[in-house]
Amino acid sequence: MMRVIKKSLLEGFFTENPDAEQPLKTWLSAVRSAEWGCGADILRSFPKAQLHNAGRSVVFEVVRERYYVMAFVEYPARTLSIQRIDSSSYPEPSRKIFH
């Protein structure tokens, strides 16, 4: 089971994007129940995810080409920390997003 940090970012995003609420809740449920030990495990669950920084930074495509969640993953601690949610275009990972 993964522990998810900064879930409040999802709730704030729902307020501005009500159509994203159900897909993001479905994504959150899948993440919470995941047993990831490495980046390859994430790709088995989410084949369209993009791994960066040796798999510690991940961009999840939640709704096809519509919503993206950027997060840090700490595999030994089984923790995913949401950093940002973006809409409409694939966000390019940068040090500003992932730090």
The predicted-structure confidence for 16-67, as pLDDT tens digits, reads as follows 889 999 999 999 999 999 999 999 999 999 999 999 988 899 999 988 778 9
Work out the angle at residue 93's Cα, subtended by the Cα atoms of residues 26 and 80, and round it to the nearest 5 degrees.
Answer: 40
- Residue 92 falls inside a structural domain: no
Please check whether residue 63 lies inside any domain of the structure. yes
Count of structural domains, the chain: 1
Cβ proximity of 63 and 80 under 8 Å: no
Range of the domain at 40: 3-85
> Residue 55: inside a domain, yes or no?
yes
The rounded distance, in Å, linking the Cα atoms of 82 and 10 is: 9
Neighbours of 33 (CB within 10 A): 10
CATH number at residue 61: 3.30.2310.20
| Gap between the Cα atoms of 85 and 44, Å rounded | 22
Report if residue 95 sits inside a domain. no
**Half-sphere exposure at residue 3, Cβ-oriented, CA atoms within 13 angstroms:** 7
The answer as to whether 39 is a domain residue is yes
